[in-house]
């Protein structure tokens, strides 16, 4: 994997369109370039994790973020693209709901507590354990490259829920997001801190640069945030997703900071995760007792949705971990390609 021309600075510019991974993403790509949208037969719900479908969704979602340099801003609300996005989302949601554990009596608190259980079997340890104990600098570069699809827009999809909350939940959410966006300091915005990490690791910091190298399992984790964030009906699930990220972040960040120190990464790389150790320990309490509790106090009927968001996040992260650890333990790259 090589760095590109943006190393050392952070150009917050629209990314370029990715390479297609099948007929569906090819159709979306052509439409974004001004051709007539010709939708091929859609895959079944059981194929919703397919890399072609996930990339198509990713491209459609990106119209609501920074957009693409080659695509007019007006395409964000193109009715044909929105209809296609809705059909793909239905398939993605259907397979997620099918794959989720079903316990109608489970509470959000119980689901969050499960995330804090540490594995006792070495074979069950996650990515942060692996990187801390035996990971190489190149494996960490791969991890950072694929995580950049989210971290260069960190907190953005969660911000969509703010106008859909009120009272304690809204106040708590805004308090956490304020920290995520640098507490008023541009240089401390977490997306910028991750770009600084990438610079330390000699990676290209251009927004969306590594999408073609990123495996579908990582693309799906980003798509989940966008899916939940863009739909008011899924606000409970987005709060669940946000809570699960904050609850799991502090211990994982500690391990990743230790991993970076062990492999000799620079201070900016270490800082990103070290910053999250303390900050997210505080955020966890705010999210638990203000955001989640506040939401369920005012809308108790959303508890099952919050639980779904927690489990869906863990499920997709587990699929990604299996991809990464399977590749790394066999001495292979976890990326689709080592270039760029």
Residue 279 pLDDT exceeds 90:
no
User: Does 324 lie in the same domain as 185?
Assistant: yes
Residues 6+ apart with CB under 8 A from 121: none
Q: Is 168 found in the same domain as 57?
A: no
The least confident of 106-120, 139-153, 210-224 is: 106-120
Residues 112 and 87 in one domain: no
* Whether 223 and 94 share a structural domain: no
Candidates 246, 66, 218, 52; CA nearest to 142 is: 218
Is 15 in a helix, a strand, or coil?
strand
Given a contact cutoff of 8 angstroms between Cβ atoms, the answer to whether 140 and 260 are in contact is: yes
Residue 200, in any domain of the structure: yes
Q: What is the pLDDT of residue 102?
A: 73
CA angle 6, 188, 290 (to 5 degrees): 130
Residue 104: its pLDDT value, please?
Answer: 79
pLDDT at 123 over 60: no
> Which of these three, 66, 99, 132, is where a domain ends?
99
Do 294 and 313 have their domain in common?
yes
Contact indicator for 203, 140 with CB cutoff of 8 Å? no
Q: What percent of the chain has pLDDT over 90?
A: 81
Give residue for tokens 């989940």: 224
Q: What's the domain range around 41?
A: 23-99
* Domain finish residue from 99, 122, 153: 99
Residue 119: predicted pLDDT? 57
> Which residue among 60, 82, 99 closes a domain?
99
Are residue 143 and residue 240 in the same domain, yes or no?
yes
Domain assignment of residue 183, yes or no: yes
pLDDT at 8 over 50: no
- Quick one: 49 and 196 in the same domain? no
What are the structure tokens assigned to 101, written together?
């554990």
- pLDDT at position 177 is 95
pLDDT (tens digit, 9 = 90+) per residue, 183-238?
A: 999 999 999 999 999 999 999 999 999 999 999 999 999 999 999 999 999 999 99
pLDDT of residue 34: 95
Task: Identify the CA nearest to 210 among candidates 43, 297, 340.
Answer: 340
Give pLDDT, residue 316.
96
pLDDT for residue 340: 44
Give per-residue pLDDT as tens, 156-169: 999 999 999 999 99
Segment (H or E) for 227: helix 216-229
CATH for 119: 1.20.910.10
In a domain, 88, yes or no: yes
Q: What is the DSSP annotation of 49-118?
A: T-HHHHHHHHHHHHTTTT-BTTS-GGGGG-HHHHHHHHHHHHHHHHHHHHHS---TT--HHHHHHHHTPP
Mean pLDDT of 58-64: 98
217 and 125 both lie in a single domain: yes
| Claim to verify: residue 146 and residue 208 sit in the same structural domain | yes
Q: Is residue 234 part of a domain?
A: yes
Mean pLDDT over the full length of the chain: 91
Both 86 and 126 in one domain: the answer is no
Residues 92 and 148 both lie in one domain: no
Q: Is the pLDDT of residue 45 over 90?
A: no
Query: Given this model, what pLDDT does residue 337 score?
Result: 81
Whole-model pTM: value is 0.93
CA proximity to 137, closest of 188, 193, 196, 197: 197
Structurally, the chain folds into a number of domains equal to 2
């Amino acid at each position: 994997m090589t760095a590109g021309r943006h190393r050392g600075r952070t150009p917050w510019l629209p990314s370029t369109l990715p390479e297609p991974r099948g007929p569906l993403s090819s159709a979306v790509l052509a439409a974004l370039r001004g051709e007539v949208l010709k939708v091929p037969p859609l895959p079944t719900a059981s194929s919703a994790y397919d890399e072609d479908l996930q990339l198509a969704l990713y491209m459609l979602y990106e119209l609501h973020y920074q957009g693409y340099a080659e695509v007019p801003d007006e395409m964000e609300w193109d009715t044909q693209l929105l209809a296609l996005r809705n059909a793909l989302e239905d398939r993605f949601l259907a397979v997620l709901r099918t794959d989720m554990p079903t316990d109608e009596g489970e509470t959000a608190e119980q689901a969050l507590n499960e995330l804090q259980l540490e594995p006792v079997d070495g074979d069950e340890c996650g990515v942060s354990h692996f990187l801390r104990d035996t990971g190489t600098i190149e494996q960490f570069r791969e991890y950072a490259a694929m995580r950049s699809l989210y971290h260069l827009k960190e907190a953005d999809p969660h911000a969509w829920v703010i106008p859909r909350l009120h009272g304690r939940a809204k106040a708590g959410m805004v308090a956490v997001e304020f920290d995520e966006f640098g507490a008023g300091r541009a240089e401390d915005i977490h997306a910028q801190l991750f770009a600084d990490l990438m610079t330390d690791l000699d990676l290209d910091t251009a927004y969306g640069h590594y999408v073609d190298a990123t495996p579908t399992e990582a693309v799906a984790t980003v798509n989940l945030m966008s899916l939940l964030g863009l739909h008011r009906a899924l606000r409970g699930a987005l709060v669940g997703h946000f809570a699960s990220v904050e609850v799991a972040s502090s211990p994982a960040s500690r391990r990743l900071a230790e991993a970076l120190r062990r492999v000799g990464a620079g201070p900016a790389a270490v800082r990103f995760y070290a910053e999250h150790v303390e900050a997210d320990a505080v955020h966890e309490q705010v999210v638990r007792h203000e955001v989640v509790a506040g939401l369920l106090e005012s809308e108790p009927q959303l508890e099952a949705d919050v639980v779904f968001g927690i489990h869906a996040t863990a499920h997709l992260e587990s699929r990604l971990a299996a991809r990464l650890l399977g590749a790394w333990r066999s001495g292979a790259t976890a990326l689709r390609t080592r270039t760029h």
